[in-house]
Amino acid sequence: MQNKRGNQEPPERHAQERQAGYQRRLPQLRNIRVPHRQSLARPSSLPTIPLTVYRAPSKSLLTQDASSSMKRMGLRALLPIALLLLTLVPSALPLVNSDIGPTQRTFYLTSSKFLLPSVPKPGLPTIANLTQTSQPRIEFDLSQFLFTQTATISGSMVFSLYLTSNVTLPGVSLVGSFLEKLAGQTGFYINVTSVQSHPIDSTRLQPLNFTYSIPSQTLGLGAHVSISMQLASPIPKGVGIKLYYDSSATPSFVTLPLFGYITLDQRSGPVAILDKHLNPVTSFNLNSTDLITIQTSVDSMLGFLDISRVNLTLVDPLLRPVRGETNLTMTPLPVLPSALPPYLYTTSWPYPSNATAGIYQVFIDIFDIQNNRAFSFRGPANFFQLSRTPNLFSPETLNLIPYAVGVTGAAALGVVYYGRRRRSKSYLVPFDYFNTLTNGELDGGSLVTVEGNTGSGKTILSEELMFEDLKKGRHCIFVATGDFPTNIREGMKSMGLDVSGYETNGLLTFVDGYSSEAGQESREKFFVPSLGDLTNLGMKISTSLQTDSFKEGSLFFDSLTPLASKTKPESLISFVQSVGAKVRGLGGKAFFTLGPSIEGTVQRRLQDMADCVVQMEAFEERGVRKSRMRISKLRARRFQQGWVIYTIEEGRGIIFYSKKPRK
């Protein structure tokens, strides 16, 4: 085989529309220089526990409370070890990393003139006449009252609008604006007013993408934020241009590049560590069982309903995730939808008596309602410590140190000798080793690019990832631009990846972008007559996404390389951005493969846009053809760095070579 080849309204939408109504009645702040939340009463009267910033135990904990006998008998033996620990521990701790944005947030136009993050419900669309002289500009509110002052907008704003005209026009110029009115002001401060032009076809209703660049701007607490659009110049008499929106058939939307829209509250400390009596504690004794309660406060620009979940991971002193405490979803304290931040989240850990002694770290990831990772907290600002006994440096323990040093030295020599003998040995491991490289399955809402030269196996990697999702019951869409879908099916079957049953059950859909290029009629339900028509291709993909089963599914686009020679670089980037935003809005994953012929600037832009970048390479070494792979980027997650060798075998697919045997 060659390598190249129910319609129900979302329940959260009701709550989002109710929150939009609440925002119309929220108070307006008169002075943006005062501490605003002191003048705004919390709607919820639930008791909360004060959060306090707790300092990490100092390095002196490693040496304090030593007895006089310690000084006499073991200080000289202990000193080198203590100095080594003091040198290694700080360097092993990761730094705080709360900056993972900006995130391209997708907001859909609604008939209530609000922008909402949920996909519109099925039904008749709302129609607006853009050529109506009495109301030339249409405006949609993102929020009439921003709940935080930590958010920033910077990057590309994209309008994806379903437009139609009674006559075909070579170009329609649209003025797109991003508007912000600070608290206490009467008029809007216009961040962006830009004009973009796009041809419009009278024979079909189609989404047109208009991209505008937004300079970096901090969004103020209590600000009124909206977007607007209007035609740039007078339209010839008799021409009518209409905008369709607020329907699953015509889901017009805007993507906004937001950063810091969800964060940990810094005023009361990002994390609180409490004992079972809810008292602030930073040290716990392993000789007696106890319950550790962890609390955190979250700020959200768009309020409580925009927070999907807050995940916590505990990391032990050896920098390993604690078993059972990885990506644990924290419980929010109940609040009204209109409640002002911060919002309190809590969870508990009944640590076992055999837990590893030492300093523990708290990692926190916050996801928005569209499953984007909006915030990532990686210590070491907050710790707690587990210790087995306060008499750690007893004379009996110190007497063993010289022997321990000797045994450790001998063991180290043995390890070095044994390691040298095993250095060249590798073990074959199956495809699921890919999840080891990425430190777990890729999150929903991720945009992934797969780069590689000819013969490196980009298509096979996409097919195997798709097959893994299909086995888990997830809907997948495969956009084929480099080979016939029939060849792809046969090739997958030869690799042991038979997808015929999944197609029959409706879990797999092919979009054919290759048959027209080969001058043949497509046999697929979804196909495009011309690969260079990105608008039509985008519509076919959007139509294939409009199924109830696709939520949290995956889209595989193989590949972008044929499009590069038929479209402008900016159009290609905008296309990937638009398709990725649609898939992200459904909580799904989008994979795009690309070859070395893609222009360097385009490749770098795609890398910046992606959450994960997989690089593959086929090469020769001493006359032997080999393949290798690495993860060069994975946003907000630790991952295995460096190249790993793999091979492609008939009937088995990708097989990795690992330095360690499979457990």
* 483 shares a domain with 623: yes
Phi, psi of 366 (to 5 degrees): -115, 130
pLDDT-wise least confident of 91-100, 139-148, 285-294, 619-628: 91-100
Mean pLDDT over residues 518-526, rounded?
91
* 83 shares a domain with 177: no
39 domain residue, yes or no = no
* 590 shares a domain with 442: yes
Q: What is the pLDDT of residue 89?
A: 37
Q: For the beta carbon of residue 407, count every other beta carbon within 10 angstroms.
A: 11
Has residue 25 got a pLDDT over 50? no
Q: What pLDDT band is residue 277 in, cutting at 50, 70 and 90?
A: confident
Q: How far apart are CA 138 and CA 131, in angstroms?
A: 11
Query: 243, 259, 275: which is the final residue of a domain?
Result: 259
Q: What pLDDT band is residue 72 in, cutting at 50, 70 and 90?
A: very low
Has residue 396 got a pLDDT over 80? no
* 550 shares a domain with 573: yes
Q: What's the order of all strands across the beta sheet hosting 224-231?
A: 138-143, 224-231, 169-181, 189-200
Q: What is the CA radius of gyration of the chain?
A: 29
Name the pTM for this structure.
0.48
Q: Supply the mean pLDDT for the chain.
A: 79
Residue whose structure tokens are 């039509």: 536
Has residue 122 got a pLDDT over 70? yes
* 204 shares a domain with 66: no
Residues forming a β-bridge with 458: none
CATH number of the domain that residue 159 is part of: 2.60.120.260
H helix intervals, 479-568: 485-494, 500-504, 534-545, 561-564
Q: Which amino acid is at 97?
A: N
Q: What pLDDT band is residue 658 in, cutting at 50, 70 and 90?
A: confident
Query: 203, 237, 259: which is the final residue of a domain?
Result: 259
41 domain residue, yes or no = no
Q: How far apart are CA 305 and CA 17, in angstroms?
A: 10
Q: What is the pLDDT of residue 345?
A: 93
* 519 shares a domain with 402: no
* Tokens linked to 59: 């390095």
Largest interatomic CA distance in the chain: 100
34 domain residue, yes or no = no
Q: pLDDT tens digit string along 458-503?
A: 999 999 999 999 999 999 999 999 999 999 999 999 888 999 999 9
Mean pLDDT over residues 581-591, rounded?
92
Q: What is the pLDDT of residue 413?
A: 58
pLDDT-wise least confident of 108-122, 366-380, 473-487, 491-505: 366-380
444 in Cβ contact with 371 (< 8 Å): yes
CATH number of the domain that residue 433 is part of: 3.40.50.300
646 domain residue, yes or no = yes
Q: Percent of the chain, pLDDT > 70?
A: 75
Q: What is the pLDDT of residue 525?
A: 92
Q: How far apart are CA 369 and CA 391, in angstroms?
A: 49
pLDDT-wise least confident of 83-87, 107-111, 190-194, 499-503: 83-87
Q: What is the pLDDT of residue 234?
A: 74
Name which of 483, 474, 540 is nearest 507 in CA terms: 474
Q: Write 515-524 long-range contacts (CB < 8 A, 24+).
A: 515/484, 517/481, 517/562, 518/484, 520/484, 523/485, 523/486, 524/485
* 642 shares a domain with 563: yes
Domains in the chain, number: 3
Mean pLDDT over residues 613-623, rounded?
91
* 224 shares a domain with 136: yes
Instruction: Respond yes or no on whether the N-terminal peptide bond of residue 69 is cis (omega within 30° of 0).
Output: no
Q: What is the pLDDT of residue 47?
A: 36
Q: How far apart are CA 112 and CA 138, in angstroms?
A: 12
By residue range, what is the domain housing residue 204? 103-259
pLDDT-wise least confident of 101-105, 555-559, 593-597, 606-610: 101-105
607-637 burial string, b = 16+ CB within 10 Å, else e? eebbbbbbbbbbeeeeeeeebbbbbeebbbb
What's the CA angle centered on 169, arms 164 and 173, to 5 degrees? Answer: 80
393 in Cβ contact with 66 (< 8 Å): yes
Phi, psi of 460 (to 5 degrees): -65, -40
Q: What is the pLDDT of residue 427?
A: 74
The gap from C-alpha 447 to its chain's centroid, in whole angstroms, comes to 8
Q: What pLDDT band is residue 82 in, cutting at 50, 70 and 90?
A: very low
* 606 shares a domain with 468: yes
Q: pLDDT tens digit string along 444-462?
A: 999 999 999 999 999 999 9
* Tokens linked to 369: 């309602």
H helix intervals, 271-400: 395-399
Instruction: Respond yes or no on whether the N-terminal peptide bond of residue 43 is cis (omega within 30° of 0).
Output: no
Q: How far apart are CA 539 and CA 544, in angstroms?
A: 9
Mean pLDDT over residues 276-286, rounded?
85
Q: How far apart are CA 79 and CA 246, in angstroms?
A: 70
Has residue 424 got a pLDDT over 60? no
Mean pLDDT over residues 502-526, rounded?
92
Has residue 339 got a pLDDT over 90? no
45 domain residue, yes or no = no
65 in Cβ contact with 58 (< 8 Å): no
* 229 shares a domain with 130: yes
354 domain residue, yes or no = no
Mean pLDDT over residues 619-632, rounded?
90
Mean pLDDT over residues 64-75, rounded?
40
Query: 221, 240, 259: which is the final residue of a domain?
Result: 259
Residue of higher predicted confidence among 227 and 546: 227
525 domain residue, yes or no = yes
145 domain residue, yes or no = yes
Residue 434, classified by CB atoms within 10 Å of its CB into exposed (0-12), middle (13-18) or buried (19+), is buried
* 108 shares a domain with 68: no
Name which of 370, 545, 372 is nearest 16 in CA terms: 370
- The top-scoring range by mean pLDDT among 184-198, 211-225, 508-522 is 508-522
Residue of higher predicted confidence among 262 and 662: 262
Q: What is the pLDDT of residue 95?
A: 35
Q: What is the pLDDT of residue 657?
A: 86
Q: Percent of the chain, pLDDT > 90?
A: 37
Q: What is the pLDDT of residue 662?
A: 61
Has residue 301 got a pLDDT over 60? yes
386 in Cβ contact with 286 (< 8 Å): yes
Q: Looking at 516-611, which runs of residues are DSSP E strands?
A: 526-527, 554-558, 589-594
* 577 shares a domain with 623: yes
